[in-house]
C-alpha cells in the first residue's frame, strides 16, 4: 500500500493543504487551519475504523491494525511553525486515534512517537527533495510491527518507560482525506475523501454510507478488476450496483443503522445524480435507493440469526491477476 500513501503525501507536498499551512500567513491562521484539518482527519479515520474493524470477520483480506494515524511534521513547508505551535518534541506525531481502537487506550493526538517496534524514528532518513517519503517508512515500520498480531513496543516522548501497543483485525484499506477535489473514490488500496466532498457535511451515519460504498469497491476488488477488463460501461454499472447493495451490510457490522444508506442516497442523489455517479455507468439515484432498500430485510434476518450481517454468501471479490 506504499504507493497509495505516497500519492496522498505527494498531494501534500504539492500544496494540497490549506493556504495558512503551506503559505505565508501567521501562526494563528496556521494553528486554526491545522486544527481543522486534524479534526477532519480524525472524523474520517474514526468512521473508517468502525467500517474496517466491524467487517474484519468477513473481509477476504485483513491486517492487524492499531487504529493509529500518524503524521510527519517534516512533510510540511512550515514544519518549524508546526513544531512551535504544538510544542512537538519530534517530527513523528499522532494525528488521530480511532475511538475504541487499541491506539486510543494508550495514545493521544499530538503525542510524539520516538520508537515503533525496534525502529527509532530519528534514524529514518528525511530528504528535502522528498519530505513526504519518511512517513512511508514510518507507516511501513508500524505495519511490520503489527503484522503478527502481537502487542509491540512504542515509545512516546516525555513518558517514562515503553508502552505496548495492541492490534486488532481490520479490513485492508486506508481512508485518507485529500485537499484537492470534491469527490470520494476508491483505488483498490485506499479510499480518498476530498475536503470538498459534500458528504462531509452530513450526519455521521450518512457520511459512513458514502465511505462504505467505496470500501465495498475495495473489498470486492472492483478497481483492479475494471482496470484489467477495460472499464466497459456495463461492467462499471454492474460494480456500482454491487457496491450499492453491499453498503448497508458494511454499515450494519460497523454499528450504524443500515437504513442510513438509503437516507444518504435520498439526500445526496437528487443534486448529484451523475458521479458516485451516473454518466450512464450508474443507475439513477431513485433506482439506487430501491437497490439498497431491497437488502435491508435480508440484513435484518441475518442479524436476527447470528447478531452479525454475514455478507460473504452474497458478495464475492472479483478475481484479479
Name the CA radius of gyration of the chain, rounded.
20
Residue ranges of the chain whose pLDDT lies below 70: 1-24, 273-283, 321
Q: pLDDT for 240-285, tens place per residue?
A: 999 999 999 999 999 999 999 999 999 988 887 654 544 555 668 8
For 269-296, b/e burial (b = at least 16 CB within 10 A) is beebbeebebeebbbebeebbebbeebb
Which residue's entry shows cell 519530505?
131
Q: What is the pLDDT of residue 285?
A: 80
Helical H runs in 147-295?
A: 204-219, 222-228, 233-253, 260-268, 285-293
Give the pairing of strands 168-171 and 62-65. antiparallel
Q: What is the pLDDT of residue 9?
A: 44
The CATH number of 2-170 is 2.30.42.10
- How far, in Å, CA of 280 to CA of 146, rounded? 43
Q: Which three cell numbers stand for residue 81?
A: 511553525
* Every domain range in the chain assigned CATH 2.30.42.10: 2-170
Q: What is the pLDDT of residue 3?
A: 45
- How far, in Å, CA of 103 to CA of 120, rounded? 18
Q: What is the pLDDT of residue 305?
A: 86
Which residue's entry shows cell 470500501?
215
Backbone conformation region of residue 125, classed left if phi is above 0, alpha if psi is from -120 to 50, else beta: beta
Q: What is the pLDDT of residue 1?
A: 42
Amino acid at each position: 500500500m506504499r504507493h497509495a500513501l505516497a500519492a496522498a503525501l505527494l498531494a501534500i507536498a504539492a500544496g494540497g493543504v490549506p493556504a495558512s499551512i503551506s503559505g505565508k500567513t501567521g501562526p494563528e491562521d496556521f494553528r486554526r487551519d491545522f486544527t481543522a484539518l486534524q479534526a477532519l482527519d480524525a472524523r474520517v479515520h474514526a468512521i473508517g475504523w468502525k467500517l474496517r474493524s466491524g467487517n474484519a470477520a468477513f473481509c477476504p483480506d485483513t491486517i492487524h491494525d492499531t487504529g493509529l494515524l500518524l503524521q510527519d511534521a517534516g512533510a510540511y513547508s512550515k514544519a518549524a511553525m508546526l513544531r512551535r505551535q504544538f510544542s512537538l518534541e519530534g517530527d513523528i506525531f499522532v494525528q488521530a486515534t480511532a475511538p475504541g481502537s487499541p491506539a486510543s487506550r494508550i495514545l493521544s493526538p499530538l503525542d510524539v512517537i520516538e520508537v515503533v517496534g525496534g525502529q527509532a524514528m530519528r534514524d529514518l532518513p528525511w530528504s528535502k527533495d522528498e519530505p513526504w517519503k519518511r512517513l512511508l517508512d514510518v507507516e511501513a515500520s508500524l505495519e511490520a510491527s503489527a503484522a503478527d498480531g502481537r502487542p509491540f513496543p512504542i515509545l512516546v516522548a516525555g513518558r517514562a518507560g515503553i508502552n505496548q501497543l495492541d492490534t486488532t483485525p481490520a479490513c485492508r484499506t486506508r481512508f485518507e482525506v485529500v485537499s484537492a477535489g470534491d469527490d470520494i473514490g476508491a483505488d483498490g488500496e485506499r479510499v480518498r475523501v476530498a475536503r470538498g466532498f459534500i458528504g462531509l457535511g452530513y450526519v455521521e451515519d450518512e457520511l459512513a454510507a458514502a465511505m462504505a460504498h467505496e470500501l465495498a469497491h475495495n473489498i470486492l476488488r472492483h478497481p483492479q478488476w475494471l482496470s484489467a477488463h477495460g472499464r466497459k460501461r456495463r461492467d462499471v454499472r454492474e460494480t456500482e450496483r454491487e457496491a450499492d447493495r453491499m453498503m448497508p451490510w458494511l454499515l450494519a457490522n460497523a454499528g450504524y443503522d443500515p437504513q442510513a444508506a438509503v437516507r444518504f442516497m435520498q439526500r445526496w442523489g437528487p443534486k448529484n445524480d451523475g458521479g458516485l455517479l451516473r454518466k450512464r455507468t450508474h443507475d439513477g439515484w431513485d433506482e439506487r435507493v430501491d437497490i439498497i432498500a431491497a437488502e435491508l430485510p435480508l440484513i435484518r434476518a441475518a442479524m436476527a440469526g447470528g447478531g452479525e450481517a454475514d455478507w460473504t454468501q452474497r458478495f464475492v471479490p472479483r478475481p484479479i491477476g
